[in-house]
Structure 1
């Protein structure tokens, strides 16, 4: 202990004597540790952390296999196999008590809330969650204010207008009012009583969802109007099921135990569907399974899309940390090389190798601890920036708070890395050349030390190349996505969303309101064209279904899903989508005239070979047994609808005036001036139509695309940040080894100059050293980077893992950094006076 305390005091004195070294090493380490902690926080929250509920390890998520289905199905970003009908949920809940302590049902929805704020009527669209009455009790969530929903709130359809607010909504919109329970708010035009407020740490059983309020399933027709009798329809799959196992039960055993009940329930539903072909029966019943998967992290609609990007970013952050560690190791090698005589004297006076290694490790651990503490200051800043980038389109499930586990992760990384980079100088000083060192025959260290440091710097350059190649590929991907041909002219285009149903409008009054909105928007100054649809463009959503084409027999196994939006007469003009054959819609295409439709290129080529051949053909939605056929009057050029990565979907457009039901409206205004200048004008015009009609997602079309590219934008930001940081660290490492080697070769340089070498020749000598080090790192890293980039192929777009432009750019950048790092050492070497150099030793 005495020797340890002595070494500790000595280490502190040594660090205090070299403040510049300490600051450089600590900042380098802090950047690597802080970045890793911030990224790991996102990864932990999205992929690892359990829900903040009672005994989350008992939770399971249910999903059903079997492709065959009749009726309507919908999903909210997750797989359609996780969607169930409410009657199926009710039967599983009531009859599956042998293995489940409870099953809960959940589905997201948007609702319109109207409140009186300082005597002003405020209307807004918010995110809600429709849940079964046992939702909070099964999860084990407590109330922050008032009470939560109970089973008694979910008995009589339409008979329990109560709601529970999320803690965040209560804080931001209700001013943390302690008397909020019992107050009344208007949801979709109907009065609801606030029962209470959920616990602050709880957001939803669905990770990624940030609902503002929860309402019981019995109030579905009020909060999600116009959806039919979903609480009774066995063929409408629209909600998700999460369960809690009985104590001691496992998901595997529960899946086997519930299989007979699932088979029986499916058999009953199959009977209700009537006579079906054997292939349908096999898919619907024989091959169908109810899967019971662990659900401690909750259900998620977005986790799968975030998994690969987060792991990719975590890998990049780890590379930054590794580069930082190598850089600090390089700095320590410089420092230890300058202390060779000191440690040789210690050996000569009887110090053991263990004591010398202890001294060096202790100094490294101290740097690691201080670097870890500095990383604690950097990590929250990085995390806040990342969360802000992820929440540009509204609330996010990510938190900016670092919990105790992440703090432990931070220090574990710092200490582990500090021990790692302390070993390099310790190994170098285990067997010093005591005689030469005490005679001062060398000023710093042996050639072996220099070679080892050169290897370390080449490794650092190689790691930087790996990171820069990954960064370049992500940046190129984002550029390709931003410049992809969408089929729509997004310039000078405004979009916003209204849903009259969520503002209390009766369905029969909505068509007239839609027409009023279109006419009002078209009359605004600077507006050149107005179009509308019930299905948002480039929002990663879609309304799809089957169609029957007259005279076309589809193959038995064909699964050709068709987008089926309704659009206004001027929609294609506003979006500047060209018509390839036939005509566009007109105002005369209404309910008084025969049904017509327009298809896109992909649809026309699949069914009719050419666009011209499609005009005049007839088509009907579904299997053709019900509904009236419509005549195709035009074919439009393909345009991307869901997202920028996917190819254009086959699409059948119908005129809005012939729609049986078109409740919500996504409007698109093409302006002659900058789109942002029209925002206030649009809001004012909508307020004049009806102050209670909430305007949602008012933005430019370019902003809409940026919102859809949220994950890609986050990766691009981090890739650029990590790439610049890696480049800077590589430059520091190259400069350090050159400065060190130049100082060590002072006598050699002096002799060269004395024998007639020019200063330009000496500069070339230094430059050759740096290019050699950088070249070794590049040659070793390029093949590795190409191989590793193949793991990221699913995240790339329009660029290969061996993109020559990216590789050439990285090589050029590293070469420029190497040359810049060599400037000062080269000037210093070329300015050496021969007399001074020969006296150096």
Structure 2
């Protein structure tokens, strides 16, 4: 790809904020960081356009920033390709075309393209695929809470229809059709659910904006969640379906086939046995669903605690991380003839990284400082294929990869990364041509388990490549560069001496004071070195660690809210059903008391009925929790459904539910036999 001109396109926000909406901006030259020359503005994007990231505020041609020869190198695979399908072209058709192209490339270039292909996937999957499990889990939690609420409403409507049983029986005896009675009951329930949906949408407007503000996920402008007409229609549709569901339960129960028996049951005010069975089934369902949510919330809490206690391989406390872009000196590009036909070397940086590092070390409160091309949890440094001396050769498909980091000698001491064996780099080894290397334990475990790796050699590429051999001078513990938790089989790391060839630098400062208190001082020190050096992504290492668990903590918080709602709804439902059953059995309780039964007997009778329902719900809920564990396994870390957190959740539900049973039972023991016998 030919080298383009030094051109740039601005975002609407940057144009307005930085250039005051200058109408003459087109054709104007501006300076960007790390650039030896100025860039000509050739366009301003329309308002609202953010591309794939809200952080992007300007765009330059790809080839301008790509290293020389990148596009011609067949082994370059570190870039993503985007395409818009033509109208009528399906994803499957596009995948078929890419498969055909991959086969042709495999035949033409077997050394680099053997068994390699391209996968076509929707953009939303690539952007949000990592949060899909959490979204599905939260949707399931919402559905469970909705079902518990439906069970509660159905129980209330069933109790109401029981109270109107005599009325319904009389209307049926006078000729009212079953369909008419059913429509009336269903209409009443639908009106209630639709009114609830309307109130819920109003509350959701506030809740959604709050959740987005608290969410650790950054949504592009084109994918920001919002309450629109589609959401409202879906909400009302679900509410209508719930209304039909909960209305049918009492509606079908209300129309008894035997009117005489129905009138007798109404007269006895004890409720039909079939209705009691339905109410009991609804209570069992509520308890089982609440158990699943409580167990899920408990597992999420334990997972987050396990992640927080995970050893990242270094000490993140009292560390400030800083990123800078050191501009290169303005040097006119040499003619090809003057460089032997090769591209001119990149101009040197205006300030050496080590000079800047010395300035930062001099800041009061800074105990140690280091430079690198990337820091843990903040970049992987880029991966390369590598080979170890004395190991058998492997084909290109099975070549191991290693992540490359360039660091100064004090990198390991500053971050307190422990050495397993060997030493750090010496000052004499700080050179672009140095062959000294430090590797992580993963390299030793792969090639030299149980052996002393000091003095062993590795090289980039295959065993037959022309790359120089590098001698291992030290071994450090594995560091979780690429997230918490990191796959145990993740590629290992190799550390090489830092050289002032990079313009994008990562700096870590270990401090004796709270690291955040030095942010302004660090910025001032960088400006004093060179005002043109931009400072960005400045944060404490503790913040970087916290970001790694932010999605899990957010999911945990939401699961906790849903579990609390489920617990409250289930307890209210149990209390309501038990209170209703006690009121329906008031006459029976009075007779028992009149015949000599004691309060403890009545208490045991009522609580026993409730305990059986709660026990059945807990058993079903625990079984369902084990079955559903596989669906949320990607969100869990170091826990299973048999974890102690699950047992605690079950105990909490059982205790609270039994209290909900005990209160109506206690009231039943205080019933006056005389009043109970008169109760109708």
3-state DSSP class of the match of 2:352? helix
Query: Where do 1:171-186 residues align within 5 Å?
Result: 173=17, 177=21, 179=23, 182=26, 185-186=30-31
Alpha-carbon contact 2:386-2:399 (below 8 Å) kept: no
3-state DSSP class of the match of 2:81? strand
Does structure 1 residue 749 correspond to structure 2 residue 589? yes
Distance in 1 between residues matched to 2:329 and 2:181, nearest whole Å: 76
3-state DSSP class of the match of 2:467? coil
Does structure 1 residue 453 correspond to structure 2 residue 453? no
Which of 673, 676, 685 lines up with 2:513 in the alignment?
A: 673
CA offsets, 1:101-147, max 9 Å, x none? xxxxxxxxxxxxxxxxxxxxxxxxxxxxxxxxxxxxxxxxxxxxxxx
Does structure 1 residue 651 correspond to structure 2 residue 486? no
Which of 191, 201, 216 lines up with 1:366 in the alignment?
A: 191
Q: CA deviation at 1:257?
A: 6.3
TM-score, normalized by length of structure 1? 0.72
Does structure 1 residue 465 correspond to structure 2 residue 304? no
Pair 448,617 (structure 1): closer, same or farther in 2 beyond 3 Å? same
1:187 paired residue number: 32
Distance in 2 between residues matched to 1:504 and 1:827, nearest whole Å: 87
Q: CA deviation at 1:421?
A: 1.0
Q: CA deviation at 1:766?
A: 3.0
Does structure 1 residue 323 correspond to structure 2 residue 323? no
1:500 paired residue number: 326
Which of 54, 65, 70 lines up with 1:210 in the alignment?
A: 54
1:151 paired residue number: none
3-state DSSP class of the match of 1:546? strand
Distance in 1 between residues matched to 2:157 and 2:175, nearest whole Å: 24
Does structure 1 residue 334 correspond to structure 2 residue 164? no
Query: Where do 1:439-838 residues align within 5 Å?
Result: 441-443=267-269, 445-501=271-327, 509-510=348-349, 512-539=351-378, 541-556=380-395, 558-591=398-431, 594-610=434-450, 613-623=452-462, 625-645=465-485, 646-647=487-488, 649-657=491-499, 661-800=501-640, 802-838=641-677
Alpha-carbon contact 1:535-1:543 (below 8 Å) kept: no
Does structure 1 residue 198 correspond to structure 2 residue 46? yes
Alpha-carbon contact 2:329-2:349 (below 8 Å) kept: no
Q: Which has the higher contact order (CA 8 A, sep 6+)?
A: 2
CA offsets, 1:630-684, max 9 Å, x none? 3211111222221122226422111214x7x433222222223333333333333
Distance in 2 between residues matched to 1:743 and 1:639, nearest whole Å: 65
Distance in 1 between residues matched to 2:24 and 2:656, nearest whole Å: 61
**Greater share of strand:** 1
Distance in 2 between residues matched to 1:614 and 1:480, nearest whole Å: 32
Alpha-carbon contact 1:319-1:463 (below 8 Å) kept: yes
Query: Where do 1:3-14 residues align within 5 Å?
Result: none
Distance in 2 between residues matched to 1:788 and 1:381, nearest whole Å: 31
Distance in 2 between residues matched to 1:456 and 1:503, nearest whole Å: 75
Distance in 2 between residues matched to 1:237 and 1:640, nearest whole Å: 23
Pair 751,245 (structure 1): closer, same or farther in 2 beyond 3 Å? closer
Does structure 1 residue 415 correspond to structure 2 residue 240? yes
Q: Which moved more, 1:694-703 or 1:245-254?
A: 245-254
Equivalent pairs counted in the alignment come to 658
3-state DSSP class of the match of 1:451? helix
Q: CA deviation at 1:833?
A: 2.2
Distance in 1 between residues matched to 2:101 and 2:351, nearest whole Å: 49
Alpha-carbon contact 2:145-2:566 (below 8 Å) kept: yes
Q: CA deviation at 1:539?
A: 3.5
Pair 709,438 (structure 1): closer, same or farther in 2 beyond 3 Å? same
Does structure 1 residue 350 correspond to structure 2 residue 208? no
CA offsets, 1:742-795, max 9 Å, x none? 111222333333444444443343332322111111112211221121222233
Alpha-carbon contact 1:473-1:799 (below 8 Å) kept: yes
2:212 paired residue number: 387
Alpha-carbon contact 1:187-1:502 (below 8 Å) kept: no
CA offsets, 1:259-292, max 9 Å, x none? 7766666666x3xxxxxxxxx54x726x55566x
Which of 139, 160, 164 lines up with 1:314 in the alignment?
A: 139
3-state DSSP class of the match of 1:532? strand
1:80 paired residue number: none
Pair 680,706 (structure 1): closer, same or farther in 2 beyond 3 Å? same
Alpha-carbon contact 2:422-2:475 (below 8 Å) kept: yes
3-state DSSP class of the match of 1:799? coil
CA offsets, 1:789-819, max 9 Å, x none? 122223322122x323133122102112202
